[in-house]
A and B are shown apart, each in its own frame.
Chain A
Amino acid sequence: MPEYALRLRRYDPQSGQGAYWEQFTVELDGHRSVLDAILKQRAERDGTIGIRCSCRSAICGSCGVRINDKPGLACHTHLDRAAQAGREGSQVIVVEPMGNMPVIKDLIVDMDAVHWKKIQRVTPWLINKQPIPEREYVVPKESMLDITQSMACIQCGACVSDCLSLEVDPLFIGPAQLAKAYRFVGDPRDAQHEQRLRELAEDPHGIYDCTHCWACIDACPKGVAPMSQIMRLRRLAGSDHQIEDANNGHRHELAFTNNIARNGLLAEADVLPDSYGGKLHPRAIGVLLASLPVILRALVRRKVTLRSALLHPHRGRFKDLSGLFDQIERRAERRELNLYITGYDSAEPAQVAGNGPAMVATGASPTRGAADEGEGR
Chain B
Amino acid sequence: MKVAYWPGCVSRGFTPELHGSMAAVAPLLGIELIELDRAACCGAGVIAEHNQELADTLNARTFALAQQTDGELMMNICSTCQGAQTECQTRLDANADYRAQINRSLATQELSYEAGLTNKNFLWLLVEEVGLDALQAKVRRPLRNLRVGPFYGCYIVRPMDQLAIDDEHPRHRYLHWLIEALGGTVIDYAGVYKCCGFPIITMNREASLKQAARHLGDAIDAEADCLVTPCPLCHLNLDLQQPLAAKLAGRRLGMPVLHLPQLVGLALGLEPRQLSMDKHIVRPSSVIDWSAAVVAASAA
Contact B200 A165 (CB under 8 A): yes
Contact pattern, B 181-216, Cβ under 8 Å of A = 1, otherwise 0: 000000000000011010110111111101100100
Query: Does any Cβ of A come within 8 Å of B49's Cβ?
Result: yes
Contact A211 B57 (CB under 8 A): no
Given the complex of chains A and B, what is the CA–CA distance between A217 and B57 in angstroms?
24
Given the complex of chains A and B, what is the CA–CA distance between A167 and B204 in angstroms?
14
Which A residue sits closest to B201, measured CB to CB?
Answer: A272
The segment from B125-133, B136-144, B239-247, B257-265 found at the interface with A is B239-247
> Given A165-B207, A294-B241, A248–B279 Cβ distance below 8 Å?
no
Of B9, B46, B61, B241, which contacts A257 at CB under 8 A?
Answer: B46
B270 CB, nearest partner CB in chain A, Å? 19
Of A218, A239, A298, which contacts B14 at CB under 8 A?
Answer: A298
Contact pattern, B 213-248, Cβ under 8 Å of A = 1, otherwise 0: 010000000000000000000000000110110000
A372 CB, nearest partner CB in chain B, Å? 13
Query: Does any Cβ of A come within 8 Å of B256's Cβ?
Result: no
Contact A253 B91 (CB under 8 A): no
Which A residue sits closest to B96, measured CB to CB?
Answer: A345
Of A260, A298, A308, A317, which contacts B38 at CB under 8 A?
Answer: A317
Contact A260 B58 (CB under 8 A): yes
Contact B202 A217 (CB under 8 A): no
Most buried by B among A214, A235, A252: A214
Task: Identify whether the interface residues of A are mostly helix, strand, loop, or mixed.
Answer: helix
Which B residue sits closest to A308, measured CB to CB?
Answer: B13
Sample (26) of A-B pairs whose CB atoms are under 8 Å apart: A165-B195, A169-B207, A169-B210, A211-B195, A211-B199, A214-B158, A235-B50, A235-B52, A257-B46, A264-B40, A266-B44, A268-B14, A293-B244, A294-B240, A294-B241, A294-B243, A298-B14, A303-B240, A308-B13, A320-B109, A324-B106, A324-B109, A337-B91, A339-B95, A357-B98, A374-B51
Give chain B's interface residues, CB within 8 Å of chain A. Answer: 9-10, 12-17, 37-38, 40-41, 43-54, 56-58, 61, 83, 90-91, 94-98, 101, 105-106, 108-109, 154-155, 158-160, 194-195, 197, 199-200, 202-208, 210-211, 214, 240-241, 243-244, 278-281
Given A210-B200, A238-B50, A293-B243, 11 more contacts at CB 8 Å?
A168-B211, A208-B200, A217-B159, A231-B45, A254-B50, A260-B41, A272-B202, A293-B244, A324-B109, A328-B54, A342-B94
